[in-house]
């Protein structure tokens, strides 16, 4: 089977590997579409803390079940599915506490185990989440990135009456903006970015105010509009943002951090305390696939507007070059394994 293998940092090849057989409890997916994520670029460059080489990468993918291992219902063969890449142990404290996405023995498909940039991929049966007919194959491959937004918005307990501020209208910010507007129906949604084309996109996706922070003061714009954000999501992920967010937040606000920079942020405890602010981190997703698939079924989000490019899997090097050379022109780039 055609597979995209990262053999070592900066060495990625399309290779022919044997089609894997599902072990007990697993299903085999015939992959149709897979999305390229920022973390795939980090793996490619050798900057990912958990990956071991060689690795078939890819953790955002969908297709159909074409074989099942022992103990799995054979009637599942043929089912169209999106794959939740979170594989957990079920035994450790986080698992028992209902937080499998931070399992102590976490195995992320495409990072710790072979991923979906291949014609076939085996995963535990519970990771293959059925997709209804009204959600097409391309949309199904974007369930994982939208699940990142779903997890953060569930952590921060978004409400329709929130005044939300989203930093960053790149691919991660876009999933958050679509969900805040289309799913949660927020009327007061402020988006800050440094790139006009992304802000234009945010405006047509439901942002009520957009701020280009290279030219406009975010604090000034909020003050002028009389808005004080009760929910702030940092999808731009620079360490300085959380410092500014503490100043802009309303008392009792929740602040969600989506980045994983290793640089420190200077957060004075007094500022958190004075407004009784809550900071939330969010990693991967905690069983959010059915929820996101529901959003897609009900047309509450627009996966097709999230997908900017599509390449045949054999053009993966071209796709990576586009993402790295022209990131502003890209949102989600899909590989087609048909
Ligand atoms: Zn991803
Ligand atoms: Zn566990």
Model confidence at 71, pLDDT cuts 50, 70, 90, reads very high
pLDDT digits (tens, 9 = 90+) for 242-252: 999 999 999 99
- Does residue 259 register a pLDDT over 90? no
How far is ligand 1, taken at its centre, from the CA of residue 142, in Å?
Answer: 9
How far is ligand 1, taken at its centre, from the CA of residue 111, in Å?
Answer: 11
Q: What is the mean pLDDT of residues 72-92?
A: 98
Residues, CB within 5 angstroms of ligand 1 (ion): 37
Among the listed residues 117, 110, 114, 112, the one whose alpha carbon sits nearest the alpha carbon of residue 32: 117
- Does residue 260 register a pLDDT over 90? no
CATH class of segment(s) 2-130+302-336: alpha beta
How far is ligand 2, taken at its centre, from the CA of residue 58, in Å?
Answer: 22
How far is ligand 1, taken at its centre, from the CA of residue 326, in Å?
Answer: 18
Q: Which residues contact 126 (CB under 8 A, 6 or more apart)?
A: none
The phi and psi torsions of 26 (rounded to 5 degrees) equal -105, 160
Long-range contacts of 312-315 (CB under 8 A, 24+ apart): 312/336, 313/2, 313/4, 313/14, 313/34, 313/117, 313/337, 314/2, 314/14
Looking at the CA of 102, name the nearest ligand: 2
- Where do the structural domains in the chain lie, given as residue ranges? 2-130+302-336, 149-281
Looking at the CA of 104, name the nearest ligand: 2
Among the listed residues 334, 281, 287, 284, the one whose alpha carbon sits nearest the alpha carbon of residue 307: 334
- Does residue 91 register a pLDDT over 90? yes
- Does residue 322 register a pLDDT over 90? yes
Q: Which residues contact 223 (CB under 8 A, 6 or more apart)?
A: none
Could you please state the CATH topology (level 3) that the domain comprising 149-281 is classified under: Rossmann fold (3.40.50)
Tell me what pLDDT residue 117 has: 98
Q: Please, what sign has the CA dihedral across residues 170, 175, 178, 181? A: negative
What number of helices (H) and strands (E) belong to the chain? 12, 18
- Does residue 49 register a pLDDT over 90? no
Model confidence at 1, pLDDT cuts 50, 70, 90, reads very high
């Amino acid at each position: 089977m055609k597979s995209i293998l990262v053999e070592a940092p900066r060495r990625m090849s399309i290779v022919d590997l044997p089609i894997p057989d599902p072990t007990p409890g697993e299903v085999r997916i015939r992959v149709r579409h897979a999305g390229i994520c920022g973390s795939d670029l980090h793996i490619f460059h050798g900057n990912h803390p958990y990956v071991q080489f060689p690795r078939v990468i890819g953790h955002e993918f969908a297709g159909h079940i074409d074989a099942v291992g022992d103990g799995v219902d054979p009637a599942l063969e043929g089912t169209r599915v999106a794959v939740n890449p979170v594989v957990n142990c079920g035994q450790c404290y986080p698992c028992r506490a209902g937080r499998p996405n931070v399992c102590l023995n976490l195995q992320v498909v495409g990072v710790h185990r072979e991923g979906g940039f291949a014609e076939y991929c085996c995963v535990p049966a519970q990771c293959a989440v059925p997709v209804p007919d009204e959600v097409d194959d391309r949309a199904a491959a974007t369930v994982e990135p939208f699940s990142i937004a779903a997890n953060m918005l569930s952590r921060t307990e978004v409400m329709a009456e929130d005044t939300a501020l989203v930093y960053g209208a790149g691919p991660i910010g876009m999933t958050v903006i679509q969900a805040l507007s289309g799913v949660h129906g927020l009327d007061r949604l402020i988006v800050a970015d440094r790139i006009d084309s992304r802000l234009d996109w945010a405006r047509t996706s439901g942002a009520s105010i957009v701020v280009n922070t290279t030219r406009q003061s975010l604090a000034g714009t909020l003050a002028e509009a009389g808005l004080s954000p009760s929910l702030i999501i940092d999808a731009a992920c620079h360490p300085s943002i959380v410092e500014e967010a503490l100043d802009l937040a309303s008392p009792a606000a929740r602040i969600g951090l989506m980045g994983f920079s290793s640089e420190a942020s200077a957060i004075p405890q007094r500022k958190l305390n004075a407004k009784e602010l809550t900071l939330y981190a969010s990693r991967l997703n905690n069983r959010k696939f059915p929820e996101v698939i529901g959003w897609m079924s009900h047309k509450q989000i627009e996966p097709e507007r999230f997908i900017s490019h599509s390449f045949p899997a054999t053009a993966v090097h071209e796709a990576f070059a586009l993402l790295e050379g022209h990131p502003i022109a890209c949102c989600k780039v899909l590989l087609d394994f048909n």
